[in-house]
Amino acid sequence: MIVVAMVCLVVLGSALIYFTFDVILLIFAAALLAIFLHGLADILRKWVPLSEGWLVMLVAVLLLLVVAGAVAVLAPSVAEQVRVLRVEIPKSAQNAGQYLSQFGWGQTLIAQLPSADDVMAKLDAASVMSRVGGFFSSTVGAVGNVLVTILLAIYLASEPRYYSAGIIRLFPKEKRERVSEILSSIYQTLRWWLIGKAASMLFIGVLTWIGLSILGVPLALTLGLIAGLLSFIPNFGPILSAIPAILLAFIDSPISALYVLGLYGGVQVIESNVVTPIIERETVELAPALTIIFQLALGAMIGGLGLVLATPLLAMVVVIVKMVYFEDVLGDKEVPIEAVTEESPA
């Protein structure tokens, strides 16, 4: 009977997670935002003598003002560039198609690709946002769920000890100290991941904007902004951001498109060797293949938002597996890669 009860609990738990996974991702997104707000509040604490809750509110208001100011300043220019981008990309795609059709392999490639009109329809802002925010719209709409996420993040950031203490008390007394260590490790990992990712996005966006401006590619500001934002998604983001820039460069010549391709590749190489090592020193190192598999899995399950949140969610899972399974269950504090390599068959 005990075995049957355990099996039933596992099945019910799995079903609950499956059918509420969109809500779990919403909570995780709020937790990420809360960690970001709490980190900024910690910085302000040195100069502003306010309680933790008021500091978080101050940070939220300041961020809102910064975003509103940036939108007011950049929105007209970016909106115009986006309008031009929507007009020019189909023309650029046609130019690229004419060039590639000169080669046999190019004709085969073109036959497998969707038409420019289909691509632009899929890249339509409303369509993209509806897919990325798919799980939000399943309840009271995207705007309402975004507001819920922000409010939840503010509450979590205002009283983090209260909520973490509630989680810790769910475990037996002899396990609570270890649970506290695990939660602290998750917090530090995600905090440094966010710091590193913010620095990486800024670095990639600015460097791409400068590089495209030097190469004379039109709409450099918008393309740099796209590159910075999409770099939040490892592996797939840089590829997606390079496509419109390469297509626009084809207006000039195929050589210009190669220069742009080299620019995007160079920016990624510099970022991988400058920013990424700094992140990995303070957080967990994620194997590229594991990251891609996790992204594909969540992308297939949830859609665009699953792809966006896959990497930080994987970082949290790796911390839990490392501390709970490797260290506590197996008693293995650290397994050097060299040792594994030496034991592997040649």
Question: Is 10 contained in some domain?
Answer: no
Rounded to whole angstroms, the Cα distance separating 303 from 158 reads: 31
Model confidence band, residue 126 (pLDDT cutoffs 50, 70, 90): very low
Question: Is 5 contained in some domain?
Answer: no
Rounded to whole angstroms, the Cα distance separating 343 from 340 reads: 5
User: Which whole-number Å values give the CA distances from 131 to 3, 29, 106, 138, 300, in the listed order?
Assistant: 41, 16, 31, 11, 12
Amino acid at 198: A
Whether 227 and 264 have beta carbons less than 8 Å apart is answered as yes
137-173 pLDDT, tens digit each: 444 456 677 888 889 998 898 888 889 999 999 899 8
Instruction: Average the pLDDT over 286-315 and give the result.
Output: 83
pLDDT at residue 34, rounded to an integer: 92
Instruction: Average the pLDDT over 303-321 and give the result.
Output: 86
Q: Which residue has the tokens 């899929």?
A: 122
Is the model's pLDDT at 11 over the cut of 70? no
At residue 186, the 3 state secondary structure works out as helix
pLDDT at residue 337, rounded to an integer: 41
Question: Is 303 contained in some domain?
Answer: yes
Q: How many domains does the chain have?
A: 1
Amino acid at 244: P
Q: Which two tokens stand for residue 93?
A: 């795609």
Which of 129-167 are b and which e, b meaning 16 or more Cβ less than 10 Å from the residue's Cβ?
A: eeebbbbbeeeeebeebeebbbebbbbbbbebeebbeee
Q: Which two tokens stand for residue 164?
A: 């973490």
Q: Which two tokens stand for residue 123?
A: 């890249």
Mean pLDDT value across the chain:
77
Question: Is 127 contained in some domain?
Answer: no
Question: Is 59 contained in some domain?
Answer: yes
pLDDT at residue 210, rounded to an integer: 93
63-92 pLDDT, tens digit each: 888 888 877 777 776 677 667 667 666 766
26-44 pLDDT, tens digit each: 889 899 999 988 888 888 8
pLDDT at residue 63, rounded to an integer: 86
Question: Is 3 contained in some domain?
Answer: no
327-341 pLDDT, tens digit each: 888 877 665 444 433
Listed in sequence order, the DSSP H helices in the chain are: 2-19, 21-44, 52-100, 104-112, 116-122, 125-132, 142-158, 160-168, 173-215, 220-230, 236-249, 254-282, 288-301, 304-320, 337-343
pLDDT at residue 180, rounded to an integer: 92
Instruction: Average the pLDDT over 204-217 and give the result.
Output: 90
pLDDT at residue 346, rounded to an integer: 42
Across 17-21, 56-60, 286-290, least confident range = 17-21
Question: Is 69 contained in some domain?
Answer: yes
pLDDT at residue 182, rounded to an integer: 92
User: Which whole-number Å values give the CA distances from 266 to 17, 122, 231, 271, in the listed order?
Assistant: 41, 28, 14, 9
239-273 pLDDT, tens digit each: 888 888 888 887 777 788 889 999 999 998 888 77
The pLDDT > 90 percentage for the chain reads 10
Question: Is 336 contained in some domain?
Answer: yes
The overall pTM is greater than 0.75: no
Rounded to whole angstroms, the Cα distance separating 65 from 231 reads: 24
Whether 284 and 269 have beta carbons less than 8 Å apart is answered as no
Is the model's pLDDT at 124 over the cut of 80? no
- Residue range of the domain that includes 104: 20-116+139-343
Pick the more confident residue, 70 or 294: 294
pLDDT at residue 209, rounded to an integer: 92
